[in-house]
Structure 1
Amino acid sequence: MKLYNWQFAPNCRRVRMFVLEKKLDLPAIEEVIGSGLRLKPEYFETWPHAMVPMLETDEGQQIGEAMAICRYFEERFPEPNLMGRTAVEKGTIEMWERRAYDECLIGTAEVFRNSHPDFVDRGLPGTTAKVPQIPALIERGKGRVARYYQKIEAQLAEQEWVAGSRFSVADITTLCAMDFAIAVGMPIPPECPSTARWHDQVNARPTAKLSV
């Protein structure tokens, strides 16, 4: 089994942390980022979708997208459960996991891709076609992340974990998305003490440190 990986990418970290929370050894990891923060040309031959992470199973099957890979591991290794047991719990976890991805991670990606000098003409992932940066998306992304911080603060003021009374994949995606935002210059606002409390709590988990 092999995980095609970019160590900095939050989507790759989501998978690494999920696997570690399952108390499994990480798969063999192949770094596919070369100079200029570009995917190595040989990776395109392996995976034409041109995105990371991608898991290659022992049987040679290829699974892309972070949550699809996490679902694979959840089905193969159901304990400890990270995606919910009851219908309500599963739905709630998926709802908050998706909000972290759509609002915080993608909002940060808008800022990063449209401002980083290595991503000129690489405004969108998953294609080798030239896609120009759009400066207006930087401010839109910042606004998206700011609104997400307000939303998650209200949620975490009411409960210990993102999606309920226990740790789940929603916490993993939220941490990886939030740490990405922090790295890109959008720290947790001072008016979000519950979020800061939660962030310290999750970052204290061994898997948070090991997945960086």
Structure 2
Amino acid sequence: MKLYTYDPAPNPKRLQLFINYKGIDIETEQVDLMKLEQFKDEFRAVNPVATVPTLVTDEGVVLAEVIGACVYLEEKFPDKPLLGTTALEKAQVISWDHQIFNTCLTAVAEILRNGNPNFAGRALPGGLDIPQIPELVERGKLRLAPAFRAIDAALADSPFLVGDSVTLADIDLLVCTEFCGWVKESVPEDCANIHAWLPRAREALGL
């Protein structure tokens, strides 16, 4: 296997935390997004969509979505499961993964990509020329607090989002809380359950 990634970025960090927790040894190559290396011919020959992380499997198949790479690695390396152990837990982890990505992560991405001049013409990941929409900055900010409060309610009676141990859902939430700092946003102060969960999640992931 080979992993193409960029450590500081949120989506690569989601996958890297997954890999680190399981102790998987994978050949890794950094693709510097700040230098726009994702658009170089060499990388686009691997992943034409020009996004990271990109995992090339032992079979030579390119997995360019975090959830796909995680499912593959969970099957290959089942020890220390991160996608649940029962049918219900697996469904819950995937559901949380989808919810956190579509609410929290995309809200921060809206703020960043539509408000930062460095993303002019690149308002969405990938190689398409997509103009920024300034109004989406405010929409992203409006979306964040309600999304975090919904998650906070779910943590009221549980140490982690699914069951009694850390999962990909917790990894996604942790990465999202850190990604907020990129746009000078944060978890609302009244989300006491998330604030109590943060050190617990970091400890569980060995951070």
Q: How far apart are the structure 2 equivalents of 1:164 and 1:85?
A: 10
Contact 1:33 1:40 survives alignment (8 Å): no
Q: How far apart are the structure 2 equivalents of 1:129 and 1:98?
A: 24
1:147 to 2:142 alignment: no
For 1:119, the equivalent position in structure 2 comes to: 119
For 2:169, the equivalent position in structure 1 comes to: 170
Any unmatched runs of 5+ in structure 1? none
Q: Secondary structure at the match of 1:70?
A: helix
Identity among equivalent pairs (%): 36
Give the alignment's TM-score, normalised by structure 1.
0.90
Residues paired across the two proteins, number = 206
The AA in structure 1 aligned to 2:91 is G
For 1:67, the equivalent position in structure 2 comes to: 67
The farther-off stretch of 81-90 and 27-36 is 27-36
Contact 2:124 2:130 survives alignment (8 Å): yes
Choose between structure 1 and 2 for higher RCO, CA contacts under 8 A separated by at least 6 residues: 1
Per-residue deviation at 1:102? 0.9
Contact 1:36 1:118 survives alignment (8 Å): no
The AA in structure 2 aligned to 1:194 is N
The AA in structure 2 aligned to 1:185 is K
Contact 1:32 1:40 survives alignment (8 Å): no
Per-residue deviation at 1:14? 0.9
Any unmatched runs of 5+ in structure 2? none
Matches within 5 A, 1:38-117: 39-41=38-40, 42-117=42-117
Q: Secondary structure at the match of 1:157?
A: coil
Per-residue deviation at 1:197? 0.9
Segments of 4+ in structure 1 off by > 6 A? Answer: none
The AA in structure 1 aligned to 2:75 is E
Per-residue deviation at 1:35? 4.4
Q: CA RMSD in A?
A: 1.7
Q: How far apart are the structure 2 equivalents of 1:201 and 1:152?
A: 16
Q: How far apart are the structure 1 equivalents of 2:139 and 2:92?
A: 27
Note closer, same or farther for the CA distance 1:135–1:188 as it changes in structure 2 (3 Å cut).
Answer: same
For 1:17, the equivalent position in structure 2 comes to: 17
Note closer, same or farther for the CA distance 1:164–1:189 as it changes in structure 2 (3 Å cut).
Answer: same
Give the alignment's TM-score, normalised by structure 2.
0.92
Contact 1:100 1:173 survives alignment (8 Å): yes
Note closer, same or farther for the CA distance 1:170–1:144 as it changes in structure 2 (3 Å cut).
Answer: same
